[in-house]
Amino acid sequence: AQSVSQHNHHVILSEAASLELGCNYSYGGTVNLFWYVQYPGQHLQLLLKYFSGDPLVKGIKGFEAEFIKSKFSFNLRKPSVQWSDTAEYFCAVNIGYGGSQGNLIFGKGTKLSVKP
């Protein structure tokens, strides 16, 4: 079965530190990739997505992610984190061309705590 692995359960950073959250998936075919974020007390929301084209995608709030097909990875990055980035981050995959399967397969999530 397809799966998504997020390497870090909890990451603690100081403000202005750089962030990289790892995500790997296990599926050899066409994939669509997503990062979702859940801020404390809020709904899960889309941070960025990759379907095709430029493997470096930019999302909201200064986040970006790079798709490396050979490594089955889609790592999330931000050059300088802020206290307001404290949240839980989920990597997700939708398999099939155009997302034909419909549902998302999620990783277990990474909690990010940013110290002011």
Q: Is 99 in the site for other proteins (CB under 8 A)?
A: yes
Closest CA to 2 of 28, 36, 33, 34: 28
State the nearest-atom distance from the C-beta of 84 to other proteins, in Å: 20
* Per-residue x/- track, 33-52, other proteins (CB under 8 A): -x-x------xxxx--x-x-
Closest CA to 98 of 56, 49, 57: 49
Q: Is 13 in the site for other proteins (CB under 8 A)?
A: no
Q: Is 107 in the site for other proteins (CB under 8 A)?
A: yes
Q: Is 98 in the site for other proteins (CB under 8 A)?
A: yes
Q: Is 61 in the site for other proteins (CB under 8 A)?
A: no
Burial 22-36 (b: 16+ CB within 10 A, else e): ebbbeeeeebbbbbb
Q: Give the binding-site size for other proteins (rule: CB under 8 A).
A: 25
Q: Is 73 in the site for other proteins (CB under 8 A)?
A: no
- Cα(76)–Cα(99) distance, rounded to whole angstroms? 21
Closest CA to 78 of 87, 69, 70: 87
- Residue with structure tokens 């990062």? 35
Positions that interact with other proteins (CB under 8 A)? 4, 6, 32, 34, 36, 43-46, 49, 51, 90, 92, 94, 98-100, 102-109
